[in-house]
Structure 1
Amino acid sequence: MKNNACITCVMVSGGLAAGFTPLAVSAADGFIEGSSATLQARNYYFSRDYSDIVGANQQSKAEEWAQGFILNFKSGYTPGVVGFGVDAIGLLGLKLDSSPDRVNTGLLPVKDDGRAADEYSRLGATFKAKLSNTELKVGELQPNLTVLTFSDIRLLPPSYQGVSVTSAEIAGLTVQGGHLTSTSLRNEAGDEKMIAMLGHLPQRGADSDAFNYAGGDYAFNANRTTASAWYGQLEDIYQQGFLGLKHSQPVGNWVLGANLGYFNAKEDGDQLLGKIDNQAFFSLLSAKRGGHTFYVGYQAMYGDSSFPRVFANITPLGNEVPTYEFAFADERSWQARYDYDFTAMGIPGLTTTLRYITGNNVDTGQGFEGKDRERDLDIGYVVQSGALQGLGVRVRNVMARSNYRSDIDENRLIFSYTWKLF
C-alpha cells in the first residue's frame, strides 16, 4: 500500500506519545499569551549569465529584481492535556525589474506571454495540536528534512500542504513523519503536484500528489554526536533512504567536525520515470579555531542515475550549492572551503565564505567524461546598532564552468529586515 510509510511513521510517533504521561498542561502560555508575529522584508536582486549560450532562440541571461514580504504568525496552545493552536503565513512578491528576455530567475512567476507577473501572493494556515512533546500539524507546512530540505533561497520560501507529526518524548531523540499532497513553489502562488529532479533537470513529464516521509535524529555524547536515519517516497517516481552521522570534538583551541551521509534511491510504484538507481556518499570535515573554519569535502555518486530530489529543492549533500549540484550519474567531486567570522577581529555581524568545488567522472551519455567546477564567494553583514540595527545584507558571486552543461556567472544582492510585531 502506497501510504504504508506515512501510516507507520504516524503510528510510531503516536506510540511514543502514548507511552509517556504528559508532564503538565500542554501549553502554559495559552493560545493568546503564547502568540508571536513577525514581518520580514526581503529585497532581492538576482543575475545569472549563461555565458556559453548563443542563438536567437536561447535565453543567455536571467536577471530580475523584486521585493518580498513574509508575515509569520504563530499562536500558543489552548490549556489542557492536549493543546490546540493555529499558525499562518502570508507572502507577497512585487516585481521591481524584469524583461521577457531575462525571466526565470526563480524570483517571480512567468505568465503565458513570457513576461514576469507584477505581483503574486499567498496566505496559508496550519492547525496544530500538542500532547506532551508530540505535535501534529495539518495544512501549510515548511518541513526541513534530510529527504526534503527547506530551500529558502529566493525571494519567498516554498511550502507544502499535508500532515506532519513530530515527537521528542525521549531525551535526545526526535522522530518525524508526514504525508504531503501538494507544493507551492518559491515563485508561485498556487498549489501544484510535486515533480522530481534528477541532477539539476526537472522531470516535468511525471508528477505526484504524495510525498511520504519518516525518520529521526538522535543526539548523544553531550550533543556532540548525532545519528540520523530517514526514508522518503515520492509516490510512483522514487523512494530514498538515508543514514547519517555528525560529530564535533574539541581538541585544545580547535573544534574538529565531521558530517557523513549515505543515500540510496530506487524507482517506486508505477515508475513514472522508469528505473532509478542512485547511491550517494558525502563527507564534509571541518576544523574551527577562533573566527576561522576550514572545510574539506568529498562526494561520490554511484549507480546508473543522477541524484533524485523533489523540485526545486537543494539537498544536504556536502558538495551541493545552489548553482551546481555535483550530483550527476557517477560524479566524483572535491570541495575546499574557508569561513571567517569577523567577530574575532572586533567586527560582529560580518561573515565571509569562500568555496571551490571540482567534479569529474560524470556519465554524460554522450560518449565523453563530464567535468565541472565552481567558485563561490559570500559576504554577509548584519547591522549591530543604530537606526538600521538588524538590517542584513548579503552579496554572492559565483563562477561555474562545465563541459556538459551551461557555464554560469552569477551575482546576488539581498537586503532583509525583520520586524517583531508582538
Structure 2
Amino acid sequence: MKSTIHATRTLLSTAVALGCSSQLMAAEGGFIEDATATLQARNYYFSRDYSDIVGANKQSKAEEWAQGFIFNAKSGYTQGTIGVGVDVIGLLGLKLDSSPDRVNTGLLPVQSDGRAADDYSRVEGTLKLRYSKTELRVGELQPNLPVLVFSDIRLLPPSYQGASITSAEINGLTLQGGHLSSTHLRNEAGDEKMQAMLSYVPQRQASSDAFNYGGGDYAFNDKHTSVSAWYGQLEDIYHQGFLGLKHSQPLGSWTLGANLGYFDAREDGKKLLGNIDNQAFFSLLSAKYGGHTFYVGYQGMFGESAFPRVFANISPLGNEVPTYEFASTDERSWQARYDYDFAALGVPGLTSTVRYITGNNVNTGKGFEGKDRERDLDLGYVVQSGTFAGLGIRVRNAMARSNYRTDIDENRLILSYTWTLL
C-alpha cells in the first residue's frame, strides 16, 4: 500500500499548494481567480458473465469492485498577450473485491501472477498557453474527437501524452490538431505505446508511438446545425477520415434531431497490421417530446476490414454501445432506443434508457453469416437536495448474444460524488 499512501499524499499536497499559492499569485489576475479544483469519488461494481465462449480466453466470468478518486485542478491564465496556465490530474484506484478467476473487467491492473493490483495511481500535469482564442496544450491530454473519442467508461479515465492546439478565432468554427506519443490506459498507472483494435479485437501484435490528428467543427443556423471534417493517423498502422453532420430542429412541441457520419480507413506507412479497408456509415435520428426521446439508427460497415480504432477507445458510431460495437466486417445493424427524463413527472435527476440493437451480414471468414443483438437497460439518479445532494447512482443491465463471438450478460453499479475544492 506504499504507492497508495504516496499517491494520497501527492494529491493532498497538490491541493494544499494550490490553496497557498492563491495568496502569492493573486496579482497574476486570472491564473488563480479563474482556477478550479474538484475531487470525484467513484465506486464501481462491474460484472460480466460469458457463455458460448469464442476464442482462446475461456474465463467464464469477470467481476470486480473498486473505489476510485479523480482529482482535477485547472488554473486560469496569467495576464498578458500570451496567457500561461497549468492543469493537474491525479488518479487513485483501490481494489475492494477481485480474484484471479474474475479479473479483466477494465477496473484494475492485472499483475504477472494473474491477480489484480491492490491499488494504482498517477499524477500528471499539462502546460497550457493561450493567445486570443487559440490554445496550445502540452503534457497530459484527454482529447474527445470523432477519430479518438474520450472513453471514460470504467473506474478511472484514460489519457494521452503529447501536444494539441485548438483555435476558435472564427465565429462558429473550431479547429484542432495534435500529436500524441503514448497512452495511459484506463486501468494502468504508466504510459504505453498505442495499439489498434479492429471492431472488438485488440491487435496486440503491433504498436505505434504516434497518433496525429487534425480537423474541425463548424456550427451555423443559430447553432442548430454543425458539420465536421477530421483526419486521424495511427502511424504505420492505419489512417482514417471522417465527415459528420448534426442537426436539431424545433417543431412545435417536438425537437427533431439527426446525427450522420461517414468514416474511411486505410492502412498506413509500414502496414504493421497489413492491409486495412473499411468504410463506415451511421445515422441516428431522434424525436424529443417533453420527457420522452425516441431514437432510430442504422449503421453499415463496408470494405474488407472491420472498423479500426485506437485500443481501448470507443467510437462515435451510432450503434456502438459499451458491450458490443456492431462494427465487424460487412456488418449492418439497426437500433431502437427510448429515453425518459422523469423531471417531466416532477422527479428531477431520475433518467432511464432502454435500447435494442440487432446486426447481421457479418463476414466471419468461417463460411457463415455472423449475427448479433443487444438489449440495454440504464437507470440513473442524481440526488437533488439534502445531505447527499449531488450523489449520482447509475445501474446498467445488458444482454448481448451472437453466433460468432462470446455471449455476455452484464451488470454495473456506479456511485459517484464530486467535491468542489476551489
Q: Same fold (TM over 0.5)?
A: yes
Q: Tell me the equivalent position of 1:219.
A: 219
Counterpart of 1:340, as a letter, is Y
Instruction: Specify the SS of the correspondent of 1:366.
Output: coil
CA drift at 1:57: 7.3
Q: Tell me the equivalent position of 1:254.
A: 254
CA drift at 1:53: 3.2
CA drift at 1:33: 1.4
Q: How many correspondences in the alignment? A: 396
CA drift at 1:28: 8.9
Q: In the alignment, does 2:394 pair up with 1:394?
A: yes
Instruction: Specify the SS of the correspondent of 1:32.
Output: helix
Q: Tell me: CA distance 1:309–1:49, structure 2 relative to 1, closer, same or farther (3 Å).
A: same
Q: Tell me the equivalent position of 1:86.
A: 86
Counterpart of 1:329, as a letter, is T
Counterpart of 1:411, as a letter, is N
Distance 1:57 1:336 in 2: 32
Q: Tell me the equivalent position of 1:324.
A: 324
Q: Tell me the equivalent position of 2:208.
A: 208
Q: Deviations over 1:225-283 (max 9, x none)?
A: 00000000000000000000000101111000000000000000000000000000000
Counterpart of 1:133, as a letter, is K
Q: In the alignment, does 2:196 pair up with 1:196?
A: yes
Q: In the alignment, does 2:343 pair up with 1:343?
A: yes
Question: What residue ranges of structure 1 are gaps of 5+ in the alignment?
Answer: 1-26
Distance 2:240 2:78 in 1: 38
Structure 1 range deviating more: 56-65 or 315-324: 56-65
Counterpart of 2:180, as a letter, is L
CA RMSD across the alignment: 1.3
Decide whether the 8 Å contact of 1:64 with 1:98 is kept in 2. yes
CA drift at 1:30: 1.7
Decide whether the 8 Å contact of 1:396 with 1:412 is kept in 2. yes
Distance 1:67 1:136 in 2: 33
Instruction: Specify the SS of the correspondent of 2:228.
Output: strand
Instruction: Specify the SS of the correspondent of 1:187.
Output: coil
Distance 2:75 2:128 in 1: 9
Q: Tell me the equivalent position of 1:166.
A: 166
Q: Tell me: CA distance 1:168–1:52, structure 2 relative to 1, closer, same or farther (3 Å).
A: same
Instruction: Specify the SS of the correspondent of 2:117.
Output: coil
Instruction: Specify the SS of the correspondent of 1:31.
Output: helix
Q: Deviations over 1:335-370 (max 9, x none)?
A: 000000000000000000000000000000000000
TM-score normalized by the length of structure 1: 0.93
Q: Deviations over 1:169-191 (max 9, x none)?
A: 00000000000000000000000
Q: Tell me the equivalent position of 1:300.
A: 300
TM-score normalized by the length of structure 2: 0.93
Q: Tell me the equivalent position of 2:59.
A: 59
Q: Which runs of 4+ in 1 moved over 4 A?
A: 54-57
Q: Tell me the equivalent position of 1:136.
A: 136
Distance 1:54 1:211 in 2: 31
Distance 1:135 1:29 in 2: 18
Alignment of 1:218-297 (within 5 A): 218-297=218-297
Q: Identity across aligned pairs (percent)?
A: 80
Counterpart of 2:267, as a letter, is E
Q: Deviations over 1:95-144 (max 9, x none)?
A: 00000000000000000000000000000100000000000000000000
Q: Tell me the equivalent position of 1:404.
A: 404
CA drift at 1:51: 2.2
Distance 2:346 2:30 in 1: 41
Instruction: Specify the SS of the correspondent of 1:59.
Output: coil
CA drift at 1:38: 0.1
Q: Tell me the equivalent position of 2:24.
A: none
Counterpart of 1:348, as a letter, is P
Distance 1:38 1:363 in 2: 47
Instruction: Specify the SS of the correspondent of 2:139.
Output: strand
Question: What residue ranges of structure 2 are gaps of 5+ in the alignment?
Answer: 1-26
CA drift at 1:58: 1.8
Decide whether the 8 Å contact of 1:54 with 1:60 is kept in 2. no
Counterpart of 1:352, as a letter, is S
Decide whether the 8 Å contact of 2:53 with 2:405 is kept in 1. no
Instruction: Specify the SS of the correspondent of 1:50.
Output: strand
Counterpart of 2:398, as a letter, is V
Decide whether the 8 Å contact of 2:54 with 2:406 is kept in 1. no
Q: Tell me the equivalent position of 1:416.
A: 416
Q: Tell me: CA distance 1:48–1:32, structure 2 relative to 1, closer, same or farther (3 Å).
A: same
Instruction: Specify the SS of the correspondent of 1:316.
Output: coil
